[in-house]
Amino acid sequence: MALHNTNPTNTLAWQKLQKHFQEMQNVSMSALFDKDNTRTSQFHIQWNDFLIDYSKNIINQETLDLLLELANEAQLKDSISKYFDGDIINQTENRAVLHTALRAKETSIIKVDGENVIPEVYEVKSKIKSFTNEIVNGDRKGFTGKPFTDVVNIGIGGSDLGPAMVVEALQYYKNHLNVHFVSNVDGDHVNEIIKKLNPETTLFVIVSKTFTTQETLTNSETIREWFLKSASQEDVAKHFVAVSTNIQRVTEFGINPDNVFPMWDWVGGRFSLWSAVGLSISLAVGFENYNELLAGANEMDEHFKTEDFDKNMPVILALLSIWYNNFFGAESEALIPYSQYLQKLAPYLQQGFMESNGKSVDRDGKPVGYQTGTIIWGEPGTNSQHAFFQLIHQGTKLIPTDFIGFVKPLYGNEDHHDKLMSNFFAQTEALLHGKSSAKVQAEFIKQGLSEEKAKFLLPFKVFAGNKPTNTILIQKLTPKALGSLVAMYEHKIFVQGIIWNIFSYDQWGVELGKQLANSILDEINSKKVNSHDSSTAFLLNHFLNNK
């Protein structure tokens, strides 16, 4: 069954929220805290190893009630059932959206076209397990009989970002295999990676759902050519494996059909790390850890599916984001993990959020009359504090920010961790309260500043504060916790798409650039520039004349 089609701005809740916004837009969060010291107990969620404190937001109970009303009017509950049950909710591509089935329990029954997909999912999982064990234990060997030391994941977008992010994030759990990622069609990058490799001991995992992606095919061909300088055509089958839905194209490339890990069209690229697309994760950290990652995601799925909306982490995070995006006019959101391991989390989630919800036509095919997808960006703290935090603190833009931190460090270095976490807590407090002119003046007096100097400096040193943040405090960075964290954001994307009444699971916008690039490549190859706008023609001619 299709999703409901409700223009959010026509709901009663939206109209009430618009009115309510007039009352809230200038409210001081500090004043809200002063007035009510139970605020945090009202606005936090504790679940498994997660604690989310969302009390540092410009909201009161009425805001939350109205946002929940909006979710109900948008029929969120029913949409969640359709999402998990495998209904065709990706209507423009006529597909179900079932990355959740990839991490479901073996006893689950999830049907696509009347067929339970779980047995197939578990068949591929067991193939991932045995393949991983053979490579990690050195039982499967390269063409000269040596065990594998390096793995190269060749893929782009969802076939790269998820595995690359997780392998980086779970470095602590890694085995001896060196895992590399080649994504960009930039030949210089491929050459830099190749330089580090020995063809005798390197396994190549080509990941492409469609097996038609220009970047991935070009990189794979270049790498195969390099490989064939030391090995024979038959050796390709020993060193190249693939993850794809397009078995025919994969075998045409020379990959042994036994070394193909299938995936399904009901798994979107940007949500595919839970499928065999995560093979390089399993190779890097072992199947048990990979399975734990999936188990963590499944626990979050259960939470999202069954928990009341007022205690439901993805729902609350999505609603808060809508509050700022659609009522305060915030255009972007920052995501700041206080863990260097999570340095690729924001780039990974950029695809999730921006490819999914970067849409301007509603589910009725009409242009939306309201803002949709937010811009997501971020870098780990404390590095980001020394880079762009100035703008979050004192700039003119409102940037709601998620702070993600862990109670325990992995190597047990308490001194570093306490310093790291003191920054984590300090930043959300500074963003909440800012610094009043009275406080700044008191400091000036203490420093013995002249009246004239103090008067000049005062406006620059005052921080307005009142900047909203969510604090996501997790016990420890384990594979399971990471799985839950990623799934939490996936469901936030879903909730936003439902309320904005858009289709979150297609990505037609990416296609135009691909088509144009292909026809421009023909012009470059034939050295003949066809008709373009004058800027593009000028640039192309410059390129051709100087290459």
Catalytic residues: 355, 386, 514
Min CB(498)–ligand F6P separation in Å: 20
Q: What are phi and psi of 476, to 5 degrees?
A: -160, 150
Q: 463-491 burial, b for 16+ CB within 10 Å, e for fewer?
A: bebbbbbbbbbbeebbbbbbbbbbbbbbb
Min CB(507)–ligand F6P separation in Å: 5
DSSP-derived letter for residue 295 is: H
Using CB under 6 A as the binding rule, whether residue 218 contacts ligand F6P is answered as: no
For residues 384 and 544, what is the distance between their CA atoms, to the nearest angstrom? 40
Among 39, 270, 417, 433, binds ligand F6P (CB under 6 A): 270
Using CB under 6 A as the binding rule, whether residue 209 contacts ligand F6P is answered as: yes
Q: Looking at beta carbons only, is 80 or 260 nearer to ligand F6P?
A: 260
Q: Are 189 and 182 in contact (CB under 8 A)?
A: yes
The token duo for 468 is: 């909203």
For residues 547 and 532, what is the distance between their CA atoms, to the nearest angstrom? 20
Among 55, 132, 213, 280, binds ligand F6P (CB under 6 A): 213
Min CB(418)–ligand F6P separation in Å: 39
DSSP-derived letter for residue 236 is: H
- 168 to 187: interface string for ligand F6P, x by CB under 6 A: --------------------
Q: Are 401 and 431 in contact (CB under 8 A)?
A: yes
Q: Looking at beta carbons only, is 151 or 156 nearer to ligand F6P?
A: 156
Tell me the CA distances in angstroms from 474 to 7, 246, 308, 406, one per residue in order: 36, 39, 21, 5
- Sheet containing 469-474: give its strands across: 44-47, 50-53, 469-474, 401-406, 332-337, 375-377
Near ligand F6P by CB under 6 A, which window of 83-91, 170-178, 209-217, 423-431?
A: 209-217
* Residues in region 333-362 near ligand F6P by CB under 6 A: 355
Min CB(421)–ligand F6P separation in Å: 35
Among 100, 153, 202, 208, binds ligand F6P (CB under 6 A): 208
- Classified as helix, coil or strand, 471 is strand
- 121 to 160: interface string for ligand F6P, x by CB under 6 A: -----------------------------------xxxx-
Using CB under 6 A as the binding rule, whether residue 507 contacts ligand F6P is answered as: yes
User: What contacts 169, CB < 8 A, 6 or more positions away?
Assistant: 341, 342, 344, 345, 477, 482
Q: Looking at beta carbons only, is 159 or 504 nearer to ligand F6P?
A: 159
Q: Are 128 and 276 in contact (CB under 8 A)?
A: yes
Q: Looking only at Cα atoms, what is the longest distance across the chain? A: 83
Min CB(207)–ligand F6P separation in Å: 6
* Residues in region 231-260 near ligand F6P by CB under 6 A: none
Among 2, 510, 517, 521, binds ligand F6P (CB under 6 A): 510
| # binding residues, ligand F6P (CB under 6 A) | 14
Q: Which residues bind ligand F6P (CB under 6 A)?
A: 156-159, 208-210, 213, 216, 269-270, 355, 507, 510
